[in-house]
Chains A and B, each alone.
Chain A
Amino acid sequence: MARRSREEIGQPDDPDLAPFMNLVIILIPMLLLSVVFLEVAVINVTMPLGGSTTKDTDEPPDERLDLSIALAPNGFYITAAGYQRPPIEGCPTQGPTICLEDDSVDVAERFEEARRLLAAGQDADGESVMEEGLQAYNFRELYNMLSGFKEDFPDESTVRLAADPDIPFALTVRVMDVSRYRLTESSYDTNEAFWSAEFATETAEDGEEQFANLFGDPAFAVVQ
């Protein structure tokens, strides 16, 4: 006898995929819209209470680096080995250790303007103005100085960060970026050479190649 059809034995024809297809077609654009194609990473920081970021040690104070960078609207104030470093060559004698590279920029005003534009929903303009403020800082000289400290204190890796209350988080992150890894050279003369430099590498204890640490342990401190 001929084979009995599916219809005959009570089975449906093909399953109706239309509802499932509809669901999939709605879900795919929704998920595509929600996906942000950005790589997220993190920066480890510590926040010891009381402001002390130095390790318990018997070393006398003048043998510790105890590096601290204060971010201000007119540049970076750097304290190391117990005293605030004087302004570098080319900076005003009463000013910060590393003054602004472009002193025609009123950084505080730029940041204020950026906040105003962002609050008004003009994100692109706000970011552009914020970037103008950030670019006025001399990160190259900051790296050159930190690199010099590292040669004198190769085992130190902590840097304490302080800042004026209105300094934006973006500047703090950029300073952490500059102080995180050593570059292939210990000093740079031009910004282009500095920003396009590769990270130096070193061999870790487990034999793996890794980026050479400069001052990669940032600490935020609050003195109560």
Chain B
Amino acid sequence: MAEETKGFSKEEEEWIKAQRAREAERQKRLSRRGGDDKNAVNINSLMDIMVIMLVFLLKSYGDDPLKVVDEDLKVPRSTAQLEPVDATVVTVTRRAILVDDDEAVPIREGRVDPSQKGSGGQSSMRIIPLLDRLNDAVEQRRAEAQLLGEDFTPEATIIADQMTPHRLVLEVLYTATEAQLNQFRFAIIRSTTESVGGIAEATPEI
């Protein structure tokens, strides 16, 4: 040891000793963790894969504006080709009608309770709580469009369960027209003609 440090000043000698002590301490620490640098698992590649997957999944999550399958909702299959657009969303499940994911009115046995309708009770086409929610949603969209300097398009996307009675679909459409919405789109699950006609099973089970 004395030979190794021959020719160094006392300060340098002290520094070299401190370095060696630190290195010894580091090696000890590594061995306590279960190995040295050579034996450690390199997780960089795994991290890259994880981050790519995360970005892809987050993007696909953000790209899908419409939820068409849920516990009490499954929209019909269709051969329609048009892409969905951003609009006020009215969802008609088997249990409730929702406007932009907020429940507006409950449904029982495919009908809205007559007390929730306009004058005329069961025969009325106007669903009052839905109309109120739609008016709010339309006002909000109109204000957003104004802030962004864009033209407001009074359109709505209707996501309706495949067993929704025709009468209820009409009531929703009618109420929406009363809230100044006049362009409608029905959301569907895109499928092939063969699958729709029942001569091929092309749609995955959900």
Contact = CB atoms under 8 A, between A and B. Distances in A.
A169 B50 CA distance: 42
Given A31-B54, A37-B204, A166-B165, A119 B193 contact: no
30 contacts: A24-B50, A28-B50, A35-B57, A36-B206, A38-B204, A40-B66, A40-B68, A40-B190, A41-B80, A41-B187, A41-B189, A42-B83, A42-B85, A42-B186, A43-B82, A114-B163, A119-B94, A126-B163, A130-B162, A139-B197, A164-B166, A168-B163, A169-B162, A169-B163, A173-B77, A176-B78, A177-B79, A194-B197, A195-B196, A199-B193
B106 interface: no
B163 A7 contact: no
A180 interface: yes
Contact of A177 (B60, B125, B177, B196): B196
Interface of A: 2, 5, 7, 17, 21, 24-25, 27-28, 31-32, 34-47, 49, 71, 111, 114-115, 118-119, 123, 126-127, 130-131, 135, 139, 163-170, 172-174, 176-177, 180-181, 191-192, 194-197, 199, 211, 220, 222, 224
B61 A40 contact: no
A125 to B, nearest CB: 13
A17 B47 contact: yes
Contact of B78 (A28, A37, A71, A173): A173
B84 A21 contact: no
Nearest to A37: B204
A181 B69 CA distance: 26
B199 A196 contact: yes
Given A21-B47, A40-B187, A195 B199 contact: yes
Contacts of A34: 61
Interface of B: 19, 22, 26, 43, 47, 50-51, 53-54, 57-58, 60-61, 64, 66-69, 74, 76-85, 94, 109-110, 125, 157, 160-167, 169-170, 173-174, 176-177, 182-190, 193-194, 196-200, 204, 206
A24 to B, nearest CB: 5
A222 B170 contact: yes
A42 B206 contact: no
A126 B164 CA distance: 13
